[in-house]
Every structure is written in C-alpha cells, then in structure tokens.
Chains A and B, each alone.
Chain A
C-alpha cells in the first residue's frame, strides 16, 4: 500500500519532501495505526449496539430504537454521556494505580492489533514471531483488572480481581496449547503464512477452500480455542469476574465516566481481537470458502479472496459471542476451573500428540 501512497505524498509536498523524508517511516506507521484503530473503535461502538439489539430480539424485545433512525445513534449518545460524566475517586483508593488500571486494560487490547493481517500485505508489522507476540500481549491484559481491583480498595472489586487472575491464567494455558497444533501444521509463527498454509490442500485445489482450513482437521482445538476465547474475555457464560448478581460489576464497581468506559472499550476490543485471531488461525482469514464460484459472472467477484471474507468471519464469531451470552446461564466458579484444567488442558495435550503422529505418518495432509 505504501507504494501507492508514497508518490502521491511526494507530489503533494513538492519541495518540502526532503525535509519530511527522514521522519517518513514514523509518519507512515502513525497513519497505519490510525487506519487500524479508528475503524476498530467504531466497530466497538456498534458492537455494543448490535449486542443490545441481538439480545433484545432473543428475549422478544425491540432493543434500543429511540436515538436516531432505528436507534443507530445510541452508541454515540452513550459515549457522549460517559465522556461528560465525572470520574470519581474513592477516598481510600490508591490514586495512581486507580488511574493506571483502565490504561493497563486497554493498552494490550489495542497493541495486539499491530500484527493482525487483514488481507495479504495489509498489516502494520509483518513479524515472524506474530503468534508469540499475540500470546505475550494477551497475557498482559489481566493486569488492568488486577490493578483496578486492588487500587479501588473495596471488597467487590477485590473479589473481581482475584477471580480474574485465576480465570485468565487458567484459560491462557489451554489457548496457548491449542495454538501449538496450529503452528505445527502451518510450520510458521507468522500470521500471514498461517493463513497461506490453509490455502493449500486437496479441497482448496477443487475450489472448496472451506474444507482445507484448520478448523476441520483440528476441530477439537477449534472448539477449545473458541470457548477459551470467551473465558479469556470474561464474557458470559464465563463472566464471574463481573457477575452482576454476585459482585455487582467486579473490578469496575468504583469506576465512573470515561475510566469505566475504558474497561468497556477494552472488553469489546478484546472480543473483536479474539474473533480476528480465531478467523486467522482456524477459519482461513481472508480466504474464500467457495473459490470455484468465482466463475459465475458479476456475483463471482464476491467469492474471491479478500478482506470481506475476514470481516464476515469475524462478524460470525462475534455473533456467536452475543448468542451464547443470551442463551447460557453463568457457570459456577469451580466448574470454570474444572473445565479449564481438567478438560481443556488434557484434551489439548492429547491432540498435540495426535497431530504430531498424524504428521509423521504417510496419511499426513500437511506437506
């Protein structure tokens, strides 16, 4: 993309270009960050709206429909309201850490997007250790909740922080182990190459790419990863961290205004991140599921590879998040721990062995 923009910028600046040239890489990186983050934050806003609508329909209600046409301006109104509200500090709170909490929650949620590719070449940093980077960054996300819970100096936030630290560490283990099988079959830690590895295979050759993606041969890992993703973002039915009926709102009890909104932004940005990661690791990223339909005139274009497929897959996974929130009751705490340690971890360990043996036999489908 830089190759298209650069001559244009050079022409626009004319004689000023030599002065800008030394800082151009910095400027270009900042432009790319803005290009990734502004649609992301807009998606976060409309994900909250979509969530309220979907849950409304599932509960035979209408959902927000008052602000703007079809209620479409509702998230803007919510944002403005939170923006103008005062941020209250509890008297006994640790002020510095109280401010740091929301920052530490949202920073990893946004930083992780640096290595996510949206389409071939559409990535901020095409690094070789992309998977490692994602694992490292997502493991830092828990600090926001812990720091906020402790700094509030109040009972419920503290309960929330303790629940969060136990739950998020447990499910990181199964998420990481699930990803090991993905990198075994893709033979790379680079996210673009992981998607590329899914475009090969018998079915992909017939134009039925959907059966060549990792979800089918690694089906148990796909399930483990998806469910761990729900637990990792503290969404229902694993939302004991902020379980309303038990501990009000967990770590967010003492927060108001924009500080509270930051936790919300972080949670929804993490949901979108998990959906992007799942579509890259297991659902073929931007690859088209039915490539053979490209030969149809006019509508065939929609069946070529491209960002629209990635967006569609992410939207489908996000809908899954909302769907299960409206469907399942909250897990009991010991059941969450049991599922993570006694079901998912052994399952992933066994499946790593199965995939390893499978790759070594003549029956291997990954060459």
Chain B
C-alpha cells in the first residue's frame, strides 16, 4: 500500500468520526471543536488531491475565522441541552429528507463515471503545476465578471447584516476618537486662584495669645 493511501484512510477515518461526534456530542463547545477537527482532516484530503489552495483556504477561512466566531457565540450562550433535544422527533422527517437528498447528490458526483458525468482533468500534472496559480488565472480572466458580481453580492449581504442589527442606543457610551483628541486641558481642568494663607478670624487669634 502506498503511503498516500494510508494517509487517505487516516484522514477519512478521523473526518467521519469527528463528523459523527459533532452531532452526538452533548456539549455544544465540544461539538464545535469536533467540527474544527473535521475541517482539518478534509483539508488534508484536499491536499492529497493536489488542491493546496482550497485546503489552505479552508483552514484559513473556516477554521481560522468562521469557527472562532462560532465558538465565541456558543461559549457566550447558556444552552439548555435538555430543551434542545426535545424537538428531535418532530424535526427528524425534514432532516432525514435533506440528508437523503445530500446522499443522492454525493452518489451522483462520486459515481460520475457511471452516469457519464466524469469530466475530470488528467491526474498527472507537470511538476511545476500550481493549483493556486491556475485557480487565480481562471477567476481573474475567464470568470472575472461572475467573480466580481459574487463578491459584490457578498458585500451587500455584509452591509445588510450590519444595518439590520445596528440600532442607535440612547445610553451608548462609546467614545469618539476625534472628540477625544480635540480636548484641551482647559475643558477638563479648572484652575482656581487662592491665596496660600488664610487670615484667622479675630476670636481665634485672641485665644492663641
């Protein structure tokens, strides 16, 4: 058996186990961390397919950013696990349907040769073949407009998400840097002039004698 084959089975076994643990783990934080493990192993599988850009982008975007924010939210929530499990049987039919659909699609893709869909490029690439460069060339030349349009749609989605959640609160205490920089010493401190000694009242002066 080739070393690559051993690696493939190792990565896939860990991916399957981690993916199962994502849905069976009782603690949501553990589930999120198992999802991270699954992502890592999928990245390893993609690396075996010589798709190094996709593999590293998966780690950078999903593991490095999306899952960090996901964990951030999951940790903040005080999740009642018992209540989350209540709807299991009600939601099962819909979930099973979606699952079956996905299995069917995967089957069509994986057995593409049987369905006459196999249109994969030859596997034997020259030594200086760079997946990253090829992807960039396609994205920025042949598919430049679709790529730009997709980016703009994403940008619109980002701005919309911010606008939907942005409510100006009346008790907002956020400070503005420009106001802070514009502050002069006069605005913050009042110098009071007073004489260093105070004349004692006449009565006190008499007692002192």
Residues of chain A having any CB pair with chain B under 8 Å? 94, 97, 127-129, 132-133, 135-137, 139-140, 142-143, 146-147, 150, 158, 161-162, 165-166, 168-169, 172, 176, 189, 334-335, 338
Contacts and interface: CB of A to CB of B under 8 A. Distances in A.
B63 A132 contact: no
Given A129-B53, A143-B36, A136 B60 contact: yes
B53 A169 contact: no
Interface centre among B56, B60, B64, B175 (most CB of A within 10 A): B64
B19 interface: no
Contacts of B130: 128-129
Nearest to A129: B52
B75 A132 contact: no
Interface of B: 27, 29-30, 33, 36, 52-53, 56-57, 59-60, 63-65, 68-69, 71-72, 75-76, 130, 132, 174-175, 177
A146 B69 contact: no
Interface centre among B63, B68, B174, B177 (most CB of A within 10 A): B68
B62 to A, nearest CB: 10
Nearest to B59: A136
Given A129-B132, A334-B175, A335-B177, A143 B56 contact: no
Closest 10 CB pairs of A and B: A139-B64, A136-B59, A132-B56, A136-B56, A136-B60, A129-B52, A165-B72, A165-B68, A150-B75, A139-B60
Query: Interface residues of B: mostly helix, strand, loop or mixed?
Result: helix
Query: Interface residues of A: mostly helix, strand, loop or mixed?
Result: helix
A165 B71 contact: yes
Contacts of B52: 127-129, 132
Contacts of B30: 97
Contact of B132 (A132, A135, A150): A132
Given A140-B64, A150-B29, A189-B132, A132 B69 contact: no
A139 B27 CA distance: 24
A76 to B, nearest CB: 35
Interface centre among A139, A165, A169 (most CB of B within 10 A): A139
Contacts of A166: 72
Interface centre among A136, A161, A172, A176 (most CB of B within 10 A): A136
A169 B174 contact: no
A166 B75 CA distance: 13
A38 to B, nearest CB: 27
A132 B177 contact: no
B75 A161 contact: yes
Contacts of B76: 162
B144 to A, nearest CB: 14
A176 to B, nearest CB: 8
Contact of A147 (B33, B63, B69): B33
B33 to A, nearest CB: 7
Contact of A139 (B33, B59, B72, B177): B59
B177 A172 contact: no
13 contacts: A129-B52, A129-B130, A132-B56, A137-B59, A139-B60, A139-B63, A143-B68, A146-B71, A146-B72, A150-B29, A169-B65, A189-B132, A334-B174
Given A132-B52, A172-B64, 12 more contacts: A97-B30, A127-B52, A135-B60, A136-B56, A136-B59, A137-B59, A150-B29, A161-B75, A165-B71, A176-B60, A335-B177, A338-B177
Contacts of B53: 129, 132
B56 A97 contact: no
A132 B133 CA distance: 12
Nearest to A342: B177
A325 B65 CA distance: 28
Contacts of B60: 132, 135-136, 139, 176
A251 to B, nearest CB: 12
Contacts of A132: 52-53, 56-57, 60, 132
Contacts of A168: 68
Nearest to A332: B175
B68 A146 contact: yes
A162 B75 CA distance: 9
A132 B63 CA distance: 14
Contacts of B132: 128-129, 132, 189
